[in-house]
Amino acid sequence: MTGLQSQQHADRSFPRLHPRPAAGWVNDPNGIMFVDGRWHVFFQYNPGSARHEDIHWGHTSSADLLAWEEHPVALHPRPGTTDGFGCWSGVGVIDGGLPAVVYSAARDRHGRSEVVVVHGSADARDWSGERIVAAALPSDERVTMVRDPFLFELGGHRWAIQGAGRSDVGGALLLYGADDLDAWTEEGYLLDAEAPVVSDLAPCEGWECPQLVQVGEDWVLIMSLWLDGQPHRGVAWALGSLTIDEGTSRPVFTARRTGLIDEGSSFYAPQAVQSDGSDGQPARVLLWGWAQELAPAGVPGRSQADADEHGWSGMLTFPRELIVRDDQVELVPARELTALRAEPVEVAALPDQSEVVLTGTGTAELVLGGSGEQTVWQGELATGEEVRVLIDASIVEIHRMGHPALTFRAYPSDGEHYALRHDASVTAEAWSLRVPTPTA
């Protein structure tokens, strides 16, 4: 096991603070759970190339959400079996006191997957156990795509949903009873794109990576809006209530408001996990997202050929906390991240690993420049608003009170640096961010 952040990399754009292997493709965060005093985070991973194929589950863990340790690959696809085309996205759960993972097993590229369960070791480091098919393909012939199981508890029972596409409505969520983790029962649908309020979301072919978590008295549903072979339509949230219907004894989600959770160019497929405070922090919902290699307009991005040349693609965001404020769903940086702050620095020439906090009223912009200049972000601060800008080489994460988060990619080269400009009426504090020391 090695410290992911201790590795050196020839590519300046490679992150130092966001954990990922030195090479290969990374996409969706998966299987997040707190076990044996550590946060375990899995992720979609192709160790063989910087391309989205041959998907495994990579594995990292941390005791403090700052210093991350690399573990051996947790799940490998098995040619000729139910997951021969890849071990796709899923979640982690404690079942009978022991960790387990639940994931989409794909036989081919057509988007119709089965749910597979693997029970792990007590320390969540050994995933060599039997792979059990808990849910086969859905019986509804209108389903054109199904994947990404998620588990939740309500009314004394464990339930599951899967993201789906349906030929008549587009996005839908299949519902299952999952009291027996190894054998699910089909229970119809929790929701589809024609339901009140969620019908206002952008049309798409399916809802991916559904997440359903409780924040106070509210329930928050998160869906990634998927179009086959086209740019993603973003990640939506729906705020509402979750109750048990007296007639059917099944969960019913009623939305009252929707929006987008991150409006940056590269954010997709987040995973949320309900933390009960056993990690020493107050009860909260933590969330990670996938940061794709997609830069904002006006900033040169990276092509697949670029990714092939550098040998890596994609990363996970910093951990974030999901909150509900003024009937809006927001993401804020996980409280642990302030411990990364090191020496104060000038905003006119920011290090590749840095944070800026803006307050006041007026305009501000983040640029990446040298001989030329690229505007990564610009915004207008309102009175009383705080903006936090977190930079780690090629990833920029911006959090504004009352606004969706913003996740961007930009690629500094020799002679270039980030700089933050702002009106005199805006106050800026900035720090370099330290690479944390791995913990046992």
For the chain, give the mean pLDDT: 95
pTM more than 0.85 = yes
pLDDT band at 439 (very low <50, low <70, confident <90, very high): low
Q: What pLDDT sits at residue 228?
A: 86
Read off φ and ψ for residue 28, nearest 5 degrees: -50, 135
Work out the average pLDDT over 154-180. 97
pLDDT tens for 184-204 read: 999 999 999 999 999 999 999
pLDDT confidence of residue 110: 77
Band of the pLDDT at 232, cuts 50, 70, 90?
confident
Residues 20-36 pLDDT 10s: 999 999 999 999 999 99
Q: State mean pLDDT over 322-343.
A: 98
Percent above pLDDT 70 for the chain: 98
| The predicted structure's pLDDT at residue 230 | 76
Question: What was the pLDDT predicted at 91?
Answer: 98
Measured at the CA of 14, the angle between CA 350 and CA 9, to 5 degrees, comes to 110
Has residue 3 got a pLDDT over 60? Answer: no
pLDDT band at 108 (very low <50, low <70, confident <90, very high): confident
pLDDT over threshold 90, residue 140: yes
Q: How far are the Cα atoms of 233, 364, 417 from residue 300, in angstroms, in the given order?
A: 21, 21, 14
Q: Return all residues near 384 (Cβ < 8 A) that are at least 6 apart.
A: 401
Distance CA 52, CA 312 (A): 11
Could you tell me the end-to-end alpha-carbon distance of the chain, in angstroms, rounded to an integer?
Answer: 10
- pLDDT > 90: percent of the chain: 91
At residue 95, the pLDDT reads 97
pLDDT at 346 over 60: yes
pLDDT of residue 1 exceeding 50, the answer is no
pLDDT higher than 70, residue 144:
yes
Residue-wise pLDDT tens digits, 29-60 = 999 999 999 999 999 999 999 999 999 999 99
Mean pLDDT value of segment 211-238: 93
Output the pLDDT for position 297: 87
pLDDT band of 226, cuts 50, 70, 90: very high
Q: What mean pLDDT comes out for the span 366-377? A: 90
Confidence of residue 380 (pLDDT cuts 50, 70, 90): very high
Residue 8 has pLDDT above 80, yes or no: no
CB 21 within 8 A of CB 4: yes
- 368 pLDDT above the threshold of 70: yes
Mean pLDDT over 411-437 rounds to 95
Calpha distance 271→283 (Å, rounded):
17
Return contacts of 337-344, CB within 8 angstroms, 24+ apart.
Answer: 337/65, 337/66, 337/390, 339/64, 339/66, 339/436, 340/17, 340/66, 340/433, 340/434, 340/436, 341/431, 341/432, 341/433, 341/434, 342/431, 342/432, 342/433, 342/434, 343/431, 343/432, 344/429, 344/430, 344/431
How far apart, in whole angstroms, are the C-alpha atoms of residue 226 and residue 200?
15
